[in-house]
Each structure stands twice: as structure tokens, then as C-alpha cells.
Amino acid sequence: MTIKACVFDAYGTLFDVAAAAREAATEPGREAFAEHWRKLAADWRLKQLQYTWLRAVAGAHTDFWEVTQNGLDWAMEASGLGGDAELRERLLALYFELSAYPEVPKMLAALKQDGFATAILSNGEPGMLDGAVQSAGVGGYLDAVLSVEEVGVFKPHRSVYEMVGQRFGTAPDEVFFVSSNGWDAAHATGFGFTTAWVNRAQEPMDRLPWTPAHVLPDLTTIPDLVKAR
């Protein structure tokens, strides 16, 4: 069937999750933090994701903002920064203002020009997502911003992917789904979406029952792939 909607994960896909730590490290007076920011950013992201999976399996849902704070607290302690309350506050503030990857605005504009519906489908809670969308200036290119808070469970629960059809009236094979998380793209493939994994870090393929239809270094070619389906 013809693709009608192109749907994106948010964090790590459209928005650079390392931007908060990277920007904080360049601020005056944070020379000591500059030595730790890469490790902290990686630990923060890993724990953020791990906590979503554990909460989904345990049926102990909370919103993504709490998970984000929990992940940061673990990462700061692991880097010996657990007592720096001012740094914690600054990093959380910057997370609300994450920058988009450079190719994102042009890519989304091309999809809209070609007549495709566009959306975000994210673990993020609505306030976080609104902050990132507004900060990146991409709200005008999106028809919907869908948060797992509508269903009360994190990805990759099936009910999250079902939200797309409920919003756009599409069958799964009418949706092109893009994520920087290999496991997310894989589960979306199993759901029936056509998928692309944006593998910016050149990681190995996850060993799961499904594999993404496309593996890309960035988002530049997404409009061409969607039109070709």
C-alpha cells in the first residue's frame, strides 16, 4: 500500500540527546565538567532507556520526565558529580531545549511539500516534547505529536504503535516509521510499519525477531525513501 504518514521517534532521532551535556560543558566555569560530559551523556541516555523498559515490564509506569531525572541522577553519581545540584538543574533545563539534528527541518519540510502526514511518536511526556519542538522550530512541519502518556506504557508496547492508526486512520503498512533506536525500529517492523533505523553511531544490529527495512546514517534520504514506497 502507499505510504500516507511518516512518523518519527523524538529523542536521538529528531533531537540530539547529547546536546544538553555538550552545551553545559562549554559554559564558563564548567571546565571540570567538560572532562566528564561525554560519559555522563552516554550513561544518562542508557539509564533513561533502561528505566523505561523496566517500568514497562513491571507495570510501574511514570512519565518520561521522572525517568529522565532518574537517569541523570545515576549518571551524575557514576561520574562523581552527584552533589552538584546547580549542574543538575542546568542539565535538566537544557534538556527541555534540545536542538534538532541539522538535516531535520529541511527533511520535514520536504515530506510536507510531498503531501505526507508527519508526526512524532515518543516516550516523552507532552510538556517535554512541546519544549523540544518549539526550541527546534519544527512545530510547523508536524501534524501531530503523540506521547505514550495517552496509553500509560512505554515503547515497545504494541499499544504505543497503535496510536498512529488511531490518529491518522492508517493501516500499519501505510506508515513509514523512523527511529534512532534499533530496538524501536525492530518492534515497529514487527507491528507492520515500514521502518528505518537511523544508526548515527554505527552500532551492531539488535538481535531481535525483526529487522528494520532501512539502516541510514542520518535522516537526509527519508523523503526519497518514503516517496519510493
Q: Which residues are catalytic?
A: 9
Place of cell 508527519: 118
In angstroms, rounded to a whole number, what is the distance separating the alpha carbons of residues 91 and 85? 10
Alpha-helical (H) ranges within the chain are: 19-25, 31-34, 37-58, 64-78, 85-95, 104-113, 126-136, 158-168, 182-191, 222-228
Please choose, from the candidates 167, 161, 163, 168, the residue with its C-alpha nearest in 3D space to the C-alpha of residue 195: 161
Please choose, from the candidates 147, 150, 86, 90, the residue with its C-alpha nearest in 3D space to the C-alpha of residue 120: 147
Helix/strand/coil for 120:
strand
Strands 117-122 and 194-198: unpaired
Which DSSP category does 203 fall into? Answer: P
In angstroms, rounded to a whole number, what is the distance separating the alpha carbons of residues 126 and 145? 8
Contacting residues for 98 by C-beta, under 8 A, at least 6 apart:
11, 15, 16, 17, 19, 20, 132, 135, 136
